[in-house]
Amino acid sequence: MNRTLYTLLFHLGLPLVAIRLWLRARKAPAYARRIGERFAMNLPAMQPGGIWVHAVSVGESIAAAPMIRELLKRYPQLPITVTCMTPTGSERIQALFANEPRIQHCYLPYDLPWAAARFLERVKPKLGVIMETELWPNHIHQCAKRGIPVALANARLSERSAKGYARFAGLTRPMLEEMSLIAVQTEAEAERFRLLGARPECVEVTGSIKFDLSIDPQLLIKARELREQWQEQERPVWIAASTHEGEDEIVLAAHRQLLASYPNALLILVPRHPERFNSVFELCRREGFATVRRSSGESVEAQTQVLLGDTMGELLFLYALADSAFVGGSLVPNGGHNLLEPAALAKPVLSGPHLFNFLEIAAKLRDAAALEEVDDAQGLAVAVQRLFELPQDAQRMAQAGLTVMQLNQGALQRLLDGLARLIAR
């Protein structure tokens, strides 16, 4: 399939896109807002001529934040336009850069040539930076037509995704040939991009910028103060973060098992998607757990068994409150989420077996004995209980995770050097 056929099929599929938006809006009403932006209409006022950064959703926005902050420092004269595709991503971007007047934000229009052209005419970027693997043929082609270099930052490409791209070589090869820089996390991924048609001189192994996460010391102080306010310094607290549908039941079953041995144990449960906050709260209540919603502002009492993390932008803080951390999206075949956030906070890290989005990071943590994988509620309960009972083991895992972080830092600097070369052209 080539780009012309792809574009035709995209136009024909617009009614399905509208239905999908409508269905999503039923669960998350924010999908029904700002629809014009998705077609490059009703865009906010934009100062042209800066850097455009695309981060599809929440995870990519958080990963992009240190890079964006460095770009703001390095190029004080340039505005930075940050785009995304989801309401939660939009909220995160607005929260991260609420006090930065040079950050401009809108949804990225759909990958239709006329919408991409209209967006680029408005923004007129000197450089486009796409986070991870969000590749859109028409946007990239419209940039190439205008001589705008496009970089793929913190690029990931699993074996499975590479096979999918290879099936549509007529579409993906020309697109990759138009990229100016593909900054990949590992050599294996670099080779996959080269085999798919990326120009070898444009592919660089920079590592994962997720290792460059820096923790604000104030975060740890605030977490300690809140634990003291709860009078819970000695109470065992664990977190299950970024959970997906089908995982919450497993986590709650593990917590029930833990409560049999540790009646004062507290679980902080954080669903990945805001549209699931209410249903997970109802699940906790239905299962008989004394549950407090973080958004309610209610205090955690001695009888509280579950704190539902139903706020946006607080995940690192909630990690900091816990003694050990389970990272979700991994007990179901979703591919996992960022294991390095709890590691950076010196928490022992647990996950399920489905980590195909983080194979390299998981391997580094596993090899350092900083990650333990479990398969079910029983395994999760046993692992958490062991960390409660053997603080030396917990401390060893936590220190190993921090060491992995420190040994693998520097990707952000290498990426920024590559972007600087493109801006200087």
In CATH, what number does 27-207+410-424 get? 3.40.50.11720
Rounded CA-CA distance 119/110 in Å is: 10
- Give the separation between CA 275 and CA 27, rounded to whole angstroms: 6
H-helix segments, 241-312 = 248-261, 277-286
Domain boundaries, the chain: 27-207+410-424, 217-407
CATH 3.40.50.2000 fits 217-407, yes or no: yes
Active-site residue set: 60
Nearest Cα residue to 356 out of 205, 189, 194: 189
In order along its 425 residues, the chain shows pLDDT tens digits of 899 999 999 999 999 999 999 999 988 899 999 999 999 999 999 999 999 999 998 888 988 999 999 999 999 999 999 999 999 899 999 999 999 999 999 999 999 999 999 999 999 999 999 999 889 999 999 999 999 999 999 998 988 899 999 999 999 999 999 999 999 999 999 999 999 999 999 999 999 999 998 898 999 999 999 998 887 678 999 999 999 999 999 999 999 999 999 999 999 999 998 889 999 999 999 999 999 999 999 999 999 999 999 998 899 999 999 999 999 999 999 999 999 999 999 999 999 999 988 888 999 999 999 999 999 999 999 999 999 999 999 999 999 999 999 999 999 999 999 999 999 98
Using a CB cutoff of 8 Å and minimum separation of 24, what contacts does 380-386 make? 380/250, 380/251, 380/254, 380/326, 380/331, 380/350, 381/253, 381/254, 381/255, 381/257, 381/258, 383/350, 384/238, 384/254, 384/258, 384/324, 384/326, 384/350, 385/258, 385/261, 385/262
Same fold yes or no, 27-207+410-424 and 217-407: yes
Pick from 311, 224, 332: which is nearest to 268 by CA? 311
Residues 72-107: pLDDT tens digits?
999 999 999 999 999 989 999 999 999 999 999 999
The two structure tokens encoding residue 343: 């590691």
Summarised one tens digit per residue, pLDDT across range 245-281 is 999 999 999 999 999 999 999 999 999 988 899 999 9
E strand map for 193-336: 203-205, 237-243, 266-271, 291-293, 306-308, 324-327
